[in-house]
Amino acid sequence: MSRRLKVAAAQMGPIHLADSKASAVKRMMTMLRQAADAGCRFVVFPELALTTFFPRWWMADQAEIDRFFEAQMPSPETMPLFELAREKKVGFYLGYAELTEDGGRTRRFNTSILVGPDGRIIGKYRKVHLPGHSDHLPQAPFQHLEKRYFEVGDLGFNVWRMFDEDVVMGQCICNDRRWPETFRVMGLQGVEMVALGYNTPTDNIYFHEPPYRRVFHHLLSVQANAYQNGTWIVATAKAGKEDGFGMYGASVIVAPTGEIAAQAMSEADEVIMFDCDLSLGESIRQNVFNFARHRRPEHYRLITERAGAEPPPPTRK
């Protein structure tokens, strides 16, 4: 059986407030067709790929907020994407805002799914590391209200066998990619490829940070997490200026060596592809990052015992 998987990151340019979900799906279908025609078997779309990045807007009316959510998946608007993928025998990753009823309680998550080449949803993930804030910051140039509009994900970091069970696939979303914990939990399940979508503002609303440094942090995190777990990572942005608010692109396909195999060059709809050798990660996972030989969990206990940092108190002064 082949240990290669040709994949695509289907970066999306801006989706404005006025744009319909159907128009976003149409753009995704164009890119999926392009990827399939080039021989790709897996396409990664962005986080919250059906609408504008709505957490930048303060909204008090729950009905207004819920317009950005999906109560079922496939939804009427996304069904054509599922059908095209099944026709083309291409699997995909899709991020969307999930609204679900759970024991009489309405819950909302920032969610992604893995869809097999047969069109079946085979795995769901709900974002754990929600960035931003839950209160209104009227003095900020824009909001980042993920902590208001979503609950913290309750499904953990899992992996799934895809493509005739040949590939151990993981998934996460946006800010999760900065956290080594995200990838180590998947690494400990033998992950070989991680799909992730993101929407990251070009500017930091909390403190001044030059935009080049923010792109550097994105790349540094994804590259290090790939290397330190010997896994491929396919990281796909929604990018460009949505109603005037900039988000950087820099979608990348990163090898298990931590090297960038392909990188988007625009902030628009753009498909990048790479024919990934899945055995490339094995030499890393069997040597420098042979976890069983080298890891010492008895010295890692603080990682799970403590959420926040606790510096030692000064003993004098």
- 219-238 positions binding its own copies, by CB under 8 A: 220-221, 223-225, 227-228
State the minimum distance, in angstroms, from the CB of residue 164 to its own copies: 7
Nearest to 271 by CA among 37, 88, 82: 37
In this structure, are strands 4-11 and 270-277 parallel, antiparallel, or unpaired? antiparallel
Cβ neighbours for 73, distance < 8 A, ≥ 6 positions apart: 96, 98, 113, 121
Residue 132 CA to residue 148 CA, distance in Å, equals 9
Of the pair 61, 296, the CB lying nearest its own copies is at 296
Query: Does the protein bind its own copies through residue 105 (CB under 8 A)?
Result: no
Shortest Cβ distance from residue 296 to its own copies (Å)? 5
Rule CB under 8 A: is residue 160 a binding residue for its own copies? yes
Extended strands (E) in 51-166: 69-70, 91-102, 105-115, 121-126, 159-162
181 binds its own copies (CB under 8 A): yes
Q: Which of 21, 40, 98, 174 is catalytic?
A: 174
CB neighbours (10 Å) of residue 134?
Answer: 11
277 is an interface residue for its own copies by CB under 8 A? no
Q: With binding defined as CB under 8 A, does residue 130 bind its own copies?
A: yes
Contact stretch for its own copies (CB under 8 A) within 7-15, 42-50, 150-158, 235-243: 150-158
The answer to whether residue 174 is catalytic is yes
Give the per-residue contact string, 250-269, with its own copies (x = CB under 8 A; - = no).
-------xxx----------
The yes-or-no answer on residue 127 being catalytic is yes
Distance between CA 67 and CA 46 in Å, rounded? 19
Binding its own copies (rule: CB under 8 A), the pick from 79, 152, 265, 268 is 152
* End-to-end CA separation in angstroms for the chain: 66
Full DSSP string of 246-294: EE----EEE-TTS-EEEE--SSSSEEEEEEEETTHHHHHHHTTT-HHHH
For residues 297-316, which are near its own copies according to CB under 8 A? 297, 299-312, 314-316
Contact 142, 201 (CB under 8 A): yes
Of the residues 93, 96, 157, 198, which one makes contact with its own copies according to CB under 8 A: 157
| Cis status, amide bond into 74, omega within 30 of 0 | yes
**Smallest gap from residue 171 Cβ to its own copies (A):** 14
Report if residue 139 touches its own copies, rule: CB under 8 A. Answer: no
Task: By CB under 8 A, tell whether 67 contacts its own copies.
Answer: no
- Interface pick for its own copies out of 31, 48, 97, 168 (rule CB under 8 A): 168
By CB under 8 A, is residue 3 in contact with its own copies? Answer: no
Compute and round to an integer the Cα radius of gyration of the chain.
19
Count residues near its own copies (CB under 8 A).
72
Which residues does the annotation mark as catalytic? 47, 127, 174
